[in-house]
Each structure stands twice: as structure tokens, then as C-alpha cells.
């Protein structure tokens, strides 16, 4: 599966304006307050 196609761009654009994106930022802030860090990595095949 290739990354960066039109479908991926649309998903990222929609995610950025949705309530879901706010939840991710709130989760990251909560984890930060606990001394933790949220990271995303590529899943191995």
C-alpha cells in the first residue's frame, strides 16, 4: 500500500477539521501531563 495518495490526503484533511483531531490533541496533552509521549510508527508487514 502506498502512502500519500489522494485518499490519504483527503483523510488527513477531513481529520484535521473533525472533532476527532481535538480528541487526539487532548489525549496527547493528558499523556504529557503524566510525563508520557504519544508517538505513531509504521506498522511492520
Give me the pLDDT at residue 42, please: 92
- State the residue range of the domain holding 32: 14-45
Is 30 contained in some domain? yes
Cβ neighbours for 31, distance < 8 A, ≥ 6 positions apart? 37, 38
Q: Is residue 5 part of a domain?
A: no
Predicted pLDDT of residue 23: 81
Is the residue at 31 inside a domain?
A: yes
Output the CA–CA distances (angstroms, integers) from residue 34 to 10, 26, 39, in the order listed. 33, 13, 15
2-39: per-residue pLDDT in tens? 555 555 666 566 665 667 677 888 888 899 999 999 88
In a domain, 33, yes or no: yes
Number of structural domains in the chain: 1
pTM (predicted TM-score): 0.49
3-class secondary-structure state, position 39: coil
**Contact criterion met (CB below 8 Å) for 21 and 15:** yes
Amino acid at each position: 500500500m502506498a502512502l500519500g495518495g489522494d485518499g490519504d490526503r483527503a483523510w488527513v484533511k477531513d481529520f484535521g477539521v473533525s472533532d476527532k483531531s481535538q480528541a487526539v490533541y487532548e489525549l496527547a496533552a493528558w499523556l504529557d501531563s503524566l510525563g508520557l509521549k504519544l508517538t505513531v510508527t509504521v506498522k511492520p508487514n
